[in-house]
Structure 1
Amino acid sequence: MTADTATVQHRREGGRAVALTLATAGFAVNFWAWALLSPLSSTYKELLGLTPFEASVLVAVPVIVGSLGRIVLGALTDRYGGRLMFAVTSMLGVVPVVLLAFAGSYPALLAGGLVLGLTGATFAIGVPFVNAWFPPERRGLALGIFGMGNIGTAISGFATPWLADRFGRPVPFFVVAVALVVVGLAFLAFGREAPGTRRATEPFLSRFLAAGRLRVTRELAAMYALTFGGFVAFGAYLPLYLKAVYGLSTADAAARAAGFVVLATLARPVGGWLADRFGGRIVLSGALAVAVVCAVAVSFAPPMPPATAGFLAMAAALGLGNGAVFALLGRAVPATAVGSATGVVGAVGGLGGFLPPIVMGLIYQATGSYAIGLMLLAAVAAAALVYCWFVLRPDGPGGPGVPEWSGPAHDLV
């Protein structure tokens, strides 16, 4: 290796580190913004006299918009690049955050939450931005590290109510607004697109439809709906479950749920790294198998110690599965379609978090037991495991380190 080649390689490694750091930090801040309303929902319920349904809608609006918005922002990232899109979206996110700090009515909160949802769509910006910087054999780990930015939801769960109680309800909104400005300026000042990045030139609708026609997009969307949807569902529903089944206090149940979220988040880059080494299909299959066993085990409501072990093992499995899904996507999808495909997969995964709590709530209301709901989850995970092991074939013939896609997009339909 010549001195010039070594210098270029050193600069590229430095660029990768900066890009990954910016994307992960920006994702975490935007996810904190996205999750601002949920920890304060009980406060708004008391202040405004909201019904349980109205409070649920208030929390759900940003999540729905953020999930569906990933389709749009992912496609725009393919066209305009992650640096510009991250900066613009973060800056735009300041507007609803500041408005929500002063919102005093239910319609104002809904309007702010509607626009706030865009911050949750930044996931679809970061994946293609990070993906372009790394070679195929390192994308799983890189995307897994980036995915740790969803720790922003856990940060919000701890920091938002603490700041509101200690300094006043508007303060967490002001803190997040400043952080979003810093993220936007940091991307403009230090963010760079990966050398040789190709921009998509086709119209948005064409790119969206093309990404949706990729068989691997549809397959990974279904897998992500289970792994990430399960992560979201248990993160939100576990406190209610633990209080109802084990009689835990609100604080204890919330702390255990936060532990679930943190462990799943930390497992995500491990899943990506393992996928780089052994192939995403193998890692995803193993994660689904663990999820099946754990769901069956906890459905019998065992004593608290084994139940805790079961839920923590499930958290790790779902995190590993999340990392494996995007390790597969980063290799299997054409470079100019990663943003659009990420938008579709991310949207389905985000929306997948709504179904399990609804189903489990309805079953519990009808039967007084969560066992049937957990068994149903185990059955769905088992079906996904069978499909993943026997049907899903995104790994290339050269092994997990070889890019899977080498032809036109329609080859994967």
Structure 2
Amino acid sequence: MDNSKFSLFSFTGKMKILHLSWMAFFITFVVWFNFAPLLQMVKETLGLSTQEVKMLLILNVALTIPARVIIGMFTDKFGPRKVYSALLAVCSIPCFMFAFADSFVQAAIARFLLGFIGAGFVIGIRLVSEWFPHDELGTAEGIYGGWGNFGSAAAAFTLPTLALLFGGEEGWRYAIALTGLLSLLFSIVFYRSVSDTPKGSTYFKPKHLTAMEVTSKGDFYFLLFMKIPMYAVLALLTWKMSASGINMLSDTVVNCIYAGLFTLYLVEVTQVWKVNKNIFKQPVPKMHQYKFKQVAVLNVLYFATFGSELAVVSMLPLFFAETFELTPVLAGMVASAYAFMNLMSRPGGGWISDKCGRKPTLLILTLGLAIGYFLMGQVGSQWPVWLAVVTAMVCSFFVQAGEGAVFATVPLIKRRMTGQIAGMTGAYGNVGAVTYLTILSFVDYQTFFYVIAATAVLGFVTLIFMEEPSGKIAEVNDDGSVTLIDVSH
């Protein structure tokens, strides 16, 4: 733990780690969302149909769900420095592949593989938690998440201009290739500039890489239950690509994917059993226990917060354009106000969490989230545009502050498993996005906002069962001695 002063304008010690971490996350989001702003140019150059473009957008997020879980495990085992550097370097390859793709199949494979870079977020959560004390952790994680998340908005603002500067029909290729080059170069900077912990601190690793540890029999079954939605949503994505959806995959391929997902779930059940079978023979000592319900509640909250953010950001320009008859450019600018809130809201949520406690902050923000989306459901063409924008921005504050408060709590559950817990919680955000966007394809905008408000209410109810992190986390050193880590004032 680095107990030096918290100063945003410093670039030494823990502040250097924080700045390099959000920059790495920022770059992963620029690369992950480099397709959407150039969609029209890509469509024309490659001669894609609207269905094929939709397919590319789905593929872009499909792999991120399992990737966040896998990357979380790797982070705990190998350390954030190696894993972030490797992710930035390796994911530049599919980025270059997409930039110079000549056909839909090549573009589809590249976009599918690029879903992996969306898992970068999880790595920084663990890294930041190693460097900052518990009373600054929410603020630091909020800055990391909020400023890094802004990479998607930065891509939307800069890449179309870059494509025009490069010129010609192929300009978009060079703009996208540039983001891959940026990722590759920053991987070297990150590797050479970061260490996993401050000098003298121990980096605690989980005993097992293959599955999350739990500390009671009830939690064993609870973990298996909470894994199901991640597989269900991948099955939902497959269904969207079947003959019943956008008709991109044959029935045979779809059935093979369903069978594959079911088999994978069974494999995961066996891994969870191998890692945790001892708890059925002897109880875990009290000092090493943690409650999985803490993780489950955060999963549900991130489903409602980040899940709704991803879904709303992708539909908001169209919502404003259709509701108020705005031009696409104006609608895009108005909708971008929602994403802009990230710069302050997410750090704000973390900061409030540091000052007022984790659970009270989450309760207030989740309630605000439910009210915000209920009001969004009321927005209609009779409203003045400025009032609709203000409503969207207020709603956005609660969404993103809620995300900040969720990840202010994640590192306080079990230090050596922070990557795994962050991976599962992060994956639930993507599960939420796919679920909400699927619902949107069946209902009108008003119902869509009401559904999100209802899930926020569900999140509020589950929050009642969460316990405020308190006391200390016990972690065992290699020599058998125990280190106690403060998680509350």
- Calculate the TM-score normalised by the size of structure 2: 0.75
Give 1:108's aligned residue. Answer: 106
**Which of residues 203, 206, 209 in structure 1 aligns to 2:208?**
203
User: Gaps (5+ residues) in structure 1?
Assistant: 1-6, 365-369, 397-401, 409-413
Name which of structure 1's ranges 247-256 and 354-363 shifts more when overlaid on structure 2.
Answer: 354-363
One-letter identity of the residue aligned with 1:250: P
1:312 counterpart = 2:317: no
TM-fit CA distance, 1:175 = 1.9
CA contact under 8 A between 1:61 and 1:110: conserved in structure 2? yes
Aligned to 1:205, the other structure's residue is in SS state coil
CA displacement, residues 384-404 of structure 1 (integer Å, 9 cap, x when unaligned)? 22332x3222332xxxxx55x
Distance in 2, Cα, partners of 1:68 & 1:20: 26
CA contact under 8 A between 2:297 and 2:459: conserved in structure 1? no
Distance in 2, Cα, partners of 1:341 & 1:275: 19
**Which of residues 189, 194, 215 in structure 2 aligns to 1:186?**
189
Give 1:359's aligned residue. Answer: 439
**Which of residues 385, 391, 408 in structure 1 aligns to 2:465?**
391
Give 1:254's aligned residue. Answer: 332
Aligned to 1:354, the other structure's residue is in SS state helix
Note closer, same or farther for the CA distance 1:392–1:104 as it changes in structure 2 (3 Å cut): same
Distance in 2, Cα, partners of 1:385 & 1:298: 19
Give 2:350's aligned residue. Answer: 272
Distance in 2, Cα, partners of 1:376 & 1:295: 9
**Which of residues 38, 50, 53 in structure 2 aligns to 1:52?**
50
CA contact under 8 A between 2:42 and 2:172: conserved in structure 1? no
CA displacement, residues 190-227 of structure 1 (integer Å, 9 cap, x when unaligned)? 11111323242533223377898322111101100101
Could you list the runs of 4 or more consecutive aligned residues of structure 1 that deviate by over 4 angstroms after TM superposition?
Answer: 7-13, 208-212, 405-408
Give 2:414's aligned residue. Answer: 334
Distance in 1, Cα, partners of 2:359 & 2:49: 44
Tell me the percent identity.
Answer: 24
Higher helix share: 1
Note closer, same or farther for the CA distance 1:395–1:10 as it changes in structure 2 (3 Å cut): closer
One-letter identity of the residue aligned with 1:359: I
Note closer, same or farther for the CA distance 1:245–1:266 as it changes in structure 2 (3 Å cut): same
Name which of structure 1's ranges 111-120 and 206-215 shifts more when overlaid on structure 2.
Answer: 206-215
Distance in 1, Cα, partners of 2:334 & 2:132: 35
Distance in 2, Cα, partners of 1:265 & 1:343: 22
One-letter identity of the residue aligned with 1:292: A
Note closer, same or farther for the CA distance 1:321–1:37 as it changes in structure 2 (3 Å cut): same
TM-fit CA distance, 1:10 = 7.9
TM-fit CA distance, 1:13 = 9.3
Note closer, same or farther for the CA distance 1:120–1:208 as it changes in structure 2 (3 Å cut): farther
Give 1:15's aligned residue. Answer: 13
TM-fit CA distance, 1:174 = 2.8
- Calculate the TM-score normalised by the size of structure 1: 0.88
Distance in 2, Cα, partners of 1:357 & 1:287: 23
Give 1:349's aligned residue. Answer: 429
Name which of structure 1's ranges 272-281 and 262-271 shifts more when overlaid on structure 2.
Answer: 262-271
How large is the Cα RMSD of the aligned pairs? 2.4
CA contact under 8 A between 1:228 and 1:349: conserved in structure 2? yes
1:177 counterpart = 2:257: no
Q: Report which of the two structures shows the higher radius of gyration computed on alpha carbons.
A: 2
CA contact under 8 A between 1:208 and 1:340: conserved in structure 2? no
Name which of structure 1's ranges 301-310 and 234-243 shifts more when overlaid on structure 2.
Answer: 301-310
Distance in 2, Cα, partners of 1:68 & 1:394: 29
Give 2:90's aligned residue. Answer: 92
User: Gaps (5+ residues) in structure 2?
Assistant: 224-291, 477-489
Note closer, same or farther for the CA distance 1:9–1:314 as it changes in structure 2 (3 Å cut): closer
Aligned pairs for 1:65-84 (under 5 A) are 65-84=63-82
TM-fit CA distance, 1:64 = 1.9
TM-fit CA distance, 1:290 = 1.8
Aligned pair count reads 389
